[in-house]
Amino acid sequence: MSNFFNTIRNIFEYKEEQSYDFVLLDTAVAQQTQDFYSPITQKVFPVCDKNIEFIKEKYSTLINSDIKIREFYLNVQNKQYKSFLFYIDGMINTDSINHFVLNPLMLKNKSNTNTSEEQVITAPDKVNIVKQFDIQSYIMDSLMPQNDVSTSEDFSDIFSKVNTGVSALFVDTIPTCFLIDAKGFEKRGIPVPQNEFVIRGSQEAFIESVRTNTSLIRRLINSENLIIENCSVGTVNKNTCCICYMKNIANPDLVAEVKYRVNNLAIDAITSSGELEQLIKDSPFALPQMIATERPDRVAHYLLEGRVAIIVNGTPYVLVAPGIFTDFLSSAEDINLQYQFTNLLKFIRFFALVITLTLPGFYIAITTFHQEIIPTELLFAIVSSRSAVPFPIIFEIILMDLSLELIRESGVRVPSSLGQTIGIVGRSDSWRCSC
């Protein structure tokens, strides 16, 4: 038996290699590979042509069909500056870009035809403030009627924002990029919870968009103390994560621990909250330490208790840390019931948990070694039912558990039209095996 368990452990247990077989790459190939994975540290050039050339090289625009570079001339003080807009097709709102970016920048109007070298600003006390003309501030303050515009000088930050649906505006003679948040990619509507359905309570569930998920939480928690911090996870694919907590309720040590674990992951890419949960928990063999839920009201309830929520872009499940034992015996319906019924339901779930864990071993122990405590008629019935079975009881129980697991997997993987049929056949076969 020990050899069997050792074989299983050697198959599934991860062991770090002590020596590796590798081939030295050519110097040019090695340099190219290193440049591909190294972070970009280049600053924005003050010349548009150099910026275009750099972007085309990094994004391989000759073969990338969705990378768009819109070149045009920007009018400021009756002067024209070469400019271009850099974005990913399918991830922006084209109407917003056309009406609130390209239209005021390209067409001549009173704002961009002013020839004065000074800007006059009227203060609240009706005293005019005169300051020297600056083209960067003038474009930001007067020529771009967009609600969310920021600037950046680092290409790594620009590429990270553009990959999430932000448009980048480059203007000749300005060593700074304007980042315009005009996202417009397709996303599904807010659905009904599929795995945590309740009769009384909210019927909204999270989706794959991180900003939609944060808005669902904001709508439930009407407080200025709700903090939602953004962070990036991954070196190759910088996926966006949000850490949510109540500033005046959550333990600062807990918040600092969550931030430390999320921000110090040495991993190339992460695409789901399940991967993140495995990476930041204490041990792979430990009990579950976080709650994964698709319900915004449940996350809001936990945040008001002082816990921390982690939202990963691209997944409809949110992690809540820490998760205690009673949380896994609770349901989303419990907060809508009186405490007497809630405690009764938790006791029933705990009793079912104990039965699930102990009943197979208890049944094997009694039928194999302590038959004297079984009533005589029941013992005769068990013996007669097992008279034609050539296998021991423990083998039957293991076989039944494996059969149920296979039926569950087939019911999940096959099309829904066949799932019900497989479930009926599987339940009848399992009942026959148990008998």
pLDDT computed for residue 189 by the predictor: 83
Outline where 370-415 has alpha helix (H). Answer: 376-385, 393-413
The burial class, CB within 10 Å (0-12 / 13-18 / 19+), for 397 is middle
Distance CA 374, CA 394 (A): 18
pLDDT computed for residue 254 by the predictor: 92
User: Long-range contacts for 78-83 (Cβ within 8 Å, ≥24 apart)?
Assistant: 78/113, 78/115, 81/135, 81/171, 81/172, 81/173, 82/48, 82/171, 82/172, 83/48, 83/169, 83/170, 83/171, 83/172
307-335: b (≥16 Cβ within 10 Å) or e: bbbbbbbebbbbbbbebeeebebbebbbe
Cβ–Cβ under 8 Å, residues 173 and 46:
yes
pLDDT computed for residue 65 by the predictor: 85
pLDDT computed for residue 15 by the predictor: 64
Local confidence pLDDT in tens for the 435 residues of the chain: 677 777 777 776 666 656 555 454 455 544 554 454 455 678 899 999 999 999 999 888 888 888 999 999 988 877 888 999 999 988 888 888 888 888 888 887 666 666 555 555 555 555 555 556 678 888 888 788 888 888 999 998 899 889 888 999 999 989 999 999 888 877 788 888 888 888 888 888 999 888 889 999 999 998 888 999 988 888 888 888 999 999 989 999 999 999 999 998 888 888 888 889 888 888 777 778 899 999 999 999 999 999 999 999 989 999 998 888 888 888 888 888 888 888 898 899 999 999 988 888 888 888 888 888 888 888 788 777 777 777 788 888 888 888 888 877 777 777 666 656 666 665 555 555 555
Cβ–Cβ under 8 Å, residues 150 and 180:
no
Outline where 241-337 has alpha helix (H). Answer: 252-263, 273-280, 296-304
Q: What is the 3-state secondary structure (H, E, C) of 313-343?
A: CCCCCEEEECCCHHHHHCCCCHHHCCHHHHH
Give the orientation angle of helix 296-304 with respect to helix 210-220, to 10 degrees: 60
Closest CA to 169 of 57, 98, 70, 65: 70
The burial class, CB within 10 Å (0-12 / 13-18 / 19+), for 258 is buried
- Each domain of the chain, given as residue ranges in start order, spans 36-180, 210-335, 361-434
Assign 181 to helix, strand or coil: coil
Q: Which amino acid type is present at position 27?
A: T
pLDDT computed for residue 178 by the predictor: 93
pLDDT digits over 241-291, tens only? Answer: 999 999 989 999 999 999 999 998 888 888 888 889 888 888 777 778 899
Cα angle 246, 249, 254; round to 5: 80
153-192: b (≥16 Cβ within 10 Å) or e: eebeebbbbbebbbbbbbbbebebbbbbbbbeeeeeebee
pLDDT computed for residue 217 by the predictor: 92
pTM value is: 0.75
Closest CA to 68 of 29, 30, 97: 97
pLDDT digits over 341-394, tens only? Answer: 888 988 999 999 999 888 888 888 888 888 888 888 887 887 777 777 777 888
pLDDT computed for residue 122 by the predictor: 52
